[in-house]
Structure 1
Amino acid sequence: MLGLAGYFVLLIYIGYSSAKKVKSSADFAVAGNRIIWPILFATLAASFLGGGASMGRASKAFEDGYAFMFAATAFPIATVLSGLYIAPRLKRYVNAQTIGDIMEQHFGAPARLFTGLFSLVFCVGILGAQALAVGTVFNAVLGIEVSSGILLGMAVVLIYSTLGGLWAVIQTDVVQFLLLAIFLPVTMVVGVQAVGGPAELISRLPEGHFSLMGDYSAAMFISIFIAFLLGETLVPPYTQRALAAPDAGNARLGYSLAGVFGFLFYFVTTTIGLVALVLYPDISPDQALPALIRSLLPVGVTGLVLAALLAVVMSTADSYLNSAAVIFVRDIYQRFIDPGVTERRRLRIERWVNLLIGIGAVIFALYASSIIDALLLSYSLWAPTVLIPFVAGVLFDLKCSRSAISAMLAGALVTLIWQSAPQDLQAFTGVSALMAGVLANGLVFTLVYRLNRAAGANPESSF
């Protein structure tokens, strides 16, 4: 407990000291565009290796084996590709701080508004999943009620992220990355040895848990793969990291290396879930990682690993919290409500919004049923709406307001309708709500863009 308390004090101190560096909204949003590639790598890796990548992967491995890891590796694949081909191009957009800044240059002000709204809801949903993971860690390791754990952990995140903005988030992310990169692999090694070694672990796993697809059907495997390929690709906090780099070279290298690290981390957390299944088959899947920490590690080490586990979750939570606040103020408030807002007032509003969004995410967490379910639900708010127009604009310099807005609305509508469809229909077709929404988004974007060009209309015209 003393180690954990000291860790929380350190995070709050970082927030306090970072507040002195935050002189403008640009400091709060993109840390003054001074994040070189080693720091970008650490902060980005810490950001996307959160509750879903740690506790969520261990939980799904407990239930489904390595099959879920193989399907979920779509995300680090997408991250590497984004680092190579998208992140460097983002530095062409001078003074851009959000995806909305970029979308407006390609598709106009209405597209920026819709991007801001969809991005805001998405970030709050992911943040809620991380808050739930924080509460789960406290409950499993210290016996604290989940709701109390959510409130305690998120209170610390709110303090340092509100004070120091992205400066504080990045500094705490580096600390958190070092913790998770050291102690979670140690936990895996200790667990495998407790089972009797790798061969013994494999022999004691249920049939199918060590196979490529496990008990998944081909359609289910593909559905999960696509969900992770598109669901969190280039989401606001990760794009914000690339925008915070000083140049294209730093953006490319830091972003790509974070994706490579993801493969290793997924293997570690998945193996931990399988070790928990062999040693503690009667526990809840969400308790796989915390149970291993609580039961196998020495008392002195447990506090450090608990801090590492909380670091994993909190590093994602602070990223989405900061991004949500910046999106609301820059893409919605400043652009459409008060264009003449002063820099000082804007910074003050960002801090207040950061606090309010954090409270909203805590409320979301109290009603979410599981970490992975919350993540997958939030993913359906991103890929079917913003991703395809955003990537098309950046890669091919496309400009057509009608195509982007039509695609975003079509993707959102089809996703909502498909989510309401009977589960038997979704299972029969093998098409998830996210896949249906992405298909609708891509088809409508392409069709409207081609029709607009064929008609000879101004590509930047709005409705």
Structure 2
Amino acid sequence: MHTLDLLGLAAYFLLIIFIGYRSAKRVKTSDDFAVAGNRITWPILFATLAASFLGGGASLGRAGKSFTEGYAFMFAAAAFPIATVLAGLYIAPKLKRYAGAHTVGDIMAHHYGAPSRLITGIFSMVYCIGILGAQALAIGTVFNAVLGVEVSTGIIIGMALVLLYSTVGGIWAVIQTDVIQFLMLAFFMPLTLIIGIQLAGGPSALIKQLPQAHFSFMGHYSPLLFFGLFVAFLLGETLVPPYTQRALAAPDARNARIGYTIAGGFGFLFYFITSTIGLVALVLYPNISADQALPALIRSALPVGITGLVLAALLAVVMSTADSYLNSSAVVFVRDIYQSFINPDITEQHRLWLERGVNLGIGLGAVLFALYATSIVDALLMSYAFWAPTILIPFVLGVFFEVYCSKAALWAMLVGALVTGFWNWGPFPLQELTGITGLIVGVVSNLVVFVLVYRCFGGTGGLVAGSRSGVEGG
């Protein structure tokens, strides 16, 4: 890499460290660390949310999948921005009714009691660490492709930077870096696509050189497999802890609705850009591995002086998701597990320092996860199994319909987790035999059990616990 490019990359790293240092001075309480004092207006909410979910899967993973499978995977994955827009319109504004809430567990405790908070906290942490591991793997992939270092070395270097600013600066540092990272990806990813298309001979020449199957709606996927992927992206990452945390950080329902909805709309555009980059890479570099599609285009096609900035933008995309999940994991552990079940009398200052310590510890755990993950997208899909079949359905029903029934939630979460686990990892390869993913079976089981138990017990199984959960419902 040219010296100018290295200087551009170094300047980005120094800027991120500086933001972490400045943010540390603003973090005085746990509220500052977790929800930025509820002062995130919709333009900032849009930028930080978009930067958070447009990570390694949406950039490296999406480009890699279109490299091998064409636009079909993009069409299936478009379920996530659809879900984000719907959540912005109908769920995010309602989250502002829960005054003082920091986590999904706070809201689950209000509707379903303390046991639901504990289960939500555990599954939230497992999910967040899995997604964080996928982002760590993406960071290592970028370093390997562009700088030539080992993937494991790249993981350690990149995650060390994320750990530094997110641990000292909390959500303040995460949101400020997210805004910068969003601006970088919004400019440099389209620029990379434009340059790549020109190198391929223009749009017409690019289309002529690609297999026709790459433009098919479902590609080589069977209808059942395509539907399974669509549902996985529709539910697997919807209202997960970092995204819910963003809505809770908004000052009111209006800002939560606008910021969330626009971020979902931006997702459609970004998915198209990164997927098309994968097609450009297939034409220009047909012999590379799929996950190298985007890094290869950055390394080989861009002019001197731009390469370093685009590499920084690519790292920014991945790091913005990693820092969000890292911060959310720490807040979930301290709020939903430690403070609620181990030490309810924890002081504000102790809680802040504990969140910082847990932030560091979880980051190290995610690095270990990344060293054993085989694929960015596979790591994401594996993690999705820990959210939608367990927490999502009771959470949405509680918020949207104001349901209060602890037995329904507990049984639904338990059955959803067991069914998904048995389907995916049991002694029989049920997913291979049926072609139906465990996530779909788990979500259906969760919903059916919730409805049946609620019809049997109704509100009598509820624990309306504004006082127990420390959250006031509206």
TM-score of the pair, normalised by structure 1: 0.98
| Distance in 2 (alpha carbons) for counterparts of 1:296 and 1:458 | 61
* 1:401 and 1:461 in contact (8 A); partners too: no
Partners of 1:20 and 1:428 in 2: CA distance? 56
SS of structure 2 residue aligned to 1:331: helix
Q: Whole-Å Cα distance in 2 between the matches of residues 210 and 427 of structure 1?
A: 27
Structure 1 counterpart of 2:3: none
User: Which residues in structure 2 correspond to 1:9-158 (within 5 Å)?
Assistant: 9-158=14-163
> Which string of whole-angstrom CA distances, capped at 9 and with x for unpartnered residues, describes residues 232-287 of structure 1?
00000000000000000000000000000000000000000011111111100000
Q: Residue type matched to 1:288 in 2?
A: A
2:369 maps to 364
User: Contact 2:404/2:461 (CA < 8 Å) preserved in 1?
Assistant: no
Distance 1:461 1:244, change over 3 A: closer
Give the 3 Å change call, closer, same or farther, for CA 422–204 of structure 1 in structure 2. farther
Task: State the Cα distance separating 1:206 from its structure 2 match.
Answer: 1.6
Q: How does 1:246-257 map to 2 (within 5 A)?
A: 246-257=251-262
Aligned-pair CA distance for 1:430 = 2.9
- TM, length-normalised to structure 2: 0.95
Deviation at 1:460, TM superposition (A): 2.8
Q: For residue 353 of structure 1, what is the aligned residue in structure 2? A: 358
C-alpha distance in structure 2 between counterparts of 1:421 and 1:222, whole Å: 23
Task: Give the one of 263, 272, 290 matched to 1:267.
Answer: 272
Asked if 1:459 is matched to 2:471, the reply is no
| Aligned counterpart in structure 2 of residue 178 of structure 1, from 178, 183, 187 | 183
Q: Distance in 1 between matches of 2:464 and 2:356?
A: 35
CA distance in 2 between partners of 1:189 and 1:212 (Å):
24
Verify: 1:438 aligned to 2:443, yes or no: yes
Please tell me whether the aligned partners of residues 402 and 461 of structure 1 are also in contact (alpha carbons under 8 angstroms).
no
Does 2:452 match 1:447? yes
> CA deviation digits over 1:70-115, x for unaligned, max 9?
0100000000000000000000000000000000000000000000
Offset of 1:195 from its aligned partner?
Answer: 0.9
Aligned to 2:330: 325
Aligned residues, how many? 460
Q: Answer yes or no: is 1:169 the counterpart of 2:194.
A: no
| Aligned amino acid, residue 459 of structure 1 | G
Moved more, 136-145 or 197-206: 197-206
Matches within 5 A, 1:292-441: 292-420=297-425, 425-441=430-446
Distance 1:433 1:412 in 2: 10
- SS in structure 2 at match of 1:209: helix
Displacement of 1:199: 1.6
Q: Distance in 2 between matches of 1:87 and 1:73?
A: 20
CA deviation map 1:305-362 (0-9, x unaligned):
0000000000000000000000000000000000000000000000000000000000
What does residue range 165-244 of structure 1 map to in structure 2 within 5 Å? Answer: 165-244=170-249
Tell which deviates more after alignment, 199-208 or 40-49.
Answer: 199-208
201-210 vs 393-402, greater mean Cα deviation: 201-210
Gap regions ≥5 residues in structure 2? 1-5, 466-474
Amino acid at match of 1:114: I
User: Identity over aligned residues, as a percent?
Assistant: 71
Matched, 1:290 2:295: yes
Give the Cα separation in 1 of the matches to 2:327 and 2:147.
28
How far has the Cα of 1:426 moved from its partner?
Answer: 2.3
CA–CA separation in structure 1 for the residues paired with 2:161 and 2:11: 12
**Cα RMSD (Å) of the superposition?**
1.3
AA in 2 matched with 1:147: S
Deviates more, 1:201-210 or 1:222-231: 201-210
Cα distance in 1 between the residues matched to 2:397 and 2:211: 44
**Structure 2 residue matching 1:208: 3-state secondary structure:** helix
User: Does the 8 Å contact 2:407/2:461 carry over to 1?
Assistant: no
Q: What SS does the corresponding residue of 1:318 show, helix, strand or coil? A: helix
User: Post-superposition shift, 1:200?
Assistant: 1.5
Q: CA deviation at 1:425?
A: 4.0
Q: Deviations over 1:350-393 (max 9, x none)?
A: 00000000000001000000100000000110000000000000
Contact 1:58 1:272 in 2 (8 A): yes
CA distance in 2, matches of 1:416, 1:392: 23
Provide the secondary structure at the position in 1 that maps to 2:306. helix
**Which of residues 282, 293, 312 is equivalent to 1:277?**
282
